[in-house]
Amino acid sequence: AVQGVAELHQRMRCQDDWWNEVVDELRDGKLSEKNYKYLHGHPVEGCTLSPEERRSRKRVADGPRDPRLREEKFVKATVVVANNDAKYQINKDRTKAYARDAGTRLEWSVAKDKAGVEALQAQACDKEAKVRWLQYHDMDTEGLCGMLSLAIGMPVALTHHVDRSEKLLLKGRAPQQHEYVKFEGADWILPGSKEPGLYPILPTSRTWKLDKGHKNAVLKVSRTQIPLIPAFAITAHASQGKTLTAVMLDLNVDSKTHAAYGTVVASRVRSRFDLLILRPFPLWLFQRGAAEGPALLLRKLRGEDIDWQAMQDARWPRARCQECRELKSWDLFAHAQWELVRANRGGKCLTDAETKRQCSACRLGTTQLNCTTCRERKPDADFTPTMRTMPDNALACIDCQQQLSGKAKRLRTGWF
């Protein structure tokens, strides 16, 4: 249960006033055209800033040849992306590039999978199947990679808690990979270790399921692997609460990405100089307004008076049925009837309209149908397969379709 709520008013992470302004606009879903142009380095009408200040506000990289990408902090910077597929591909590519540039050997840790009794009985679990299992995403295998690439000195992240009593050994922490892993900033030293923060990471076993998407998953596979993943890229969800020394972002994301994505990834740094945007992005993507949920929760926690009934009426509009005169929500009306309600013409709910809704499978199993043209009930053989899937008020038998003349005859279905 919630014991209390505290609201913070002072920013402690970032003291850059202009970048805080950009983060606030991203949070509200109202990125201004002026700041959008500053980020891309476009001319701004009436700008009185110095050339140095304008250059510092340009955070979108000029392609792969941008000199800022070769700065040491951005060479080692974390890439924050919107989904796990992009994170997986970036981690794989940058691990190979890191080993090549650092002159270190790239090692591969191959997971060991052991199928359970149910899996052995249900499907083939031969060598080809196990090779295919190694290609599965680690999100489907309890966080353990099938093929884990490692190089000395590269950043890695823990996929499971190692020691709950020490915060540096919790899931998501990002140490450097040596013979052991090294946690920067740690003040403890293990017996026999020469440096603080060195900790041995041993292989662990987790059970994942081949039929994970089913309701009752039973096909178990036990996987043994080192609980690490490369940390060159992380998702916006995993970056929440972290302060990163340098970040590279991709703001040109899918329109279905959550509205809070922009402010989450942009607020991970202490200054604008610690962030680069990998490619240009459209302005409209961050002018769609903020999500209603966080603002509503904040008002609730502040103790403000909220008209919940008005919100419910806006989200679930209701109307009175023309027959039963009962006030019902819009989902209890057929689409055509609700359109009549919206036009102030009155509509009947599903109960009074006696609308019998059938899925395509049930309709195809019907033996007799009513033709709306000749008003006769005929066997289903007198209707085309396409016509049998149409609504009741749009059915026409083959004979009636053949009587149509002109343009309708040339249409693909003969009826539309």
Encode pLDDT of 92-148 as tens digits.
898 998 888 888 888 888 899 888 888 888 887 888 888 888 888 888 888 888 888
Task: Round to whole Å and give the CA distance between 110 and 230.
Answer: 15
Taking the C-alpha atoms of residue 267 and residue 6, their distance in angstroms, rounded to an integer, is 20
Report pLDDT for 284: 93
Q: Which amino acid makes up residue 325?
A: R
pLDDT given at position 37: 95
Nearest-angstrom CA–CA distance, 386 and 388: 5
What's CA 314's distance to the chain center, in Å? 27
C-alpha span between 413 and 416 (Å, rounded)? 6
pTM of the model: 0.66
The pLDDT of residue 409 is above 70: no
Question: Cα–Cα–Cα angle for 190, 196, 197, nearest 5°?
Answer: 85
Give the least confident one: 26-40, 115-129, 401-415: 401-415
Q: String of b and e for 328-361 (b: at least 16 CB within 10 Å)? A: eeeeebbeebbebbeeeeebbbbeebebeeeeee
Least confident of 24-33, 53-62, 318-327: 318-327
